[in-house]
Amino acid sequence: MNIRKFLSRYKGRYLKSLRSKYSEDLKAYFSDNPTIISNNCLAGFVYQDTGTPYTSPTIGMYFFFPDYIEFLSDLRTNLYADLTFTDVSKYELGNERIKKAKHKYPIGLLNNSMEIHFLHYSSREEALEKWKRRLERVNLNNLIVLGTQLDLCTENDIKAFDQLDFEKKIFFTRDDYNTKSGVFIEAFKKSIKIGDPYQSGHILYKHLIKKVKNKA
């Protein structure tokens, strides 16, 4: 094993140990194995860290926020829309990320409109197969919808998210936008983003649990 792989594996184990401090509280909240919809890898980390089966297709991928809001605006229809693929993102940032990535990951298109960047997949075939397989487990009557202030997210997106008709929805932000679904994380206030789930999952977990307990 080369030094880069060793350091990457060590870092992954360390970050997982930070998240594991909250795993029991997370298990209590997610005990009925809900379908977790998220704009990035956060849903996947929650399933992994609670040891529960994937009941959502939003695993190992991310949306840019204009597309995520469109996706959520008619979730029941958009989940089952045709999934095709494209070689080029409509977002300049998306194309820049692909050029810098360790591998060229597939970009999906739902209904020929909403981009899904399958960051942790190596081929279109793999992304499509797993998306379809996990769709079969979706429970639209047991949803938790998550958002984090990343990937071209604007204040208008945050407010639009807050107006969506989901009983359980939580949005992590770096500023206080005075929304019902918002969770302001002061630790990220001076950052241009609130932190991705891999690097900062333990912080997101901490605030998620606090939000849930305050509602109880």
pLDDT in tens, 42-81: 999 999 998 889 999 999 999 999 999 999 999 999 999 9
Domains of the chain, by residue range, sit at 17-215
For the whole prediction, is pTM greater than 0.85?
yes
Reported as a pLDDT band with limits 50, 70 and 90, residue 2 is low
pLDDT at res. 196: 80
Q: Using H for helix, E for strand and C for coil, what is the string for 93-160? A: HHHHHHHHCCCCCCEEEECCCEEEECCCCCCHHHHHHHHHHHHCCCCCCCEEEEEECCCCCCHHHHHH
Q: What is the pLDDT of residues 15-40, one digit of tens each?
A: 888 888 888 888 888 888 899 999 99
pLDDT at res. 30: 84
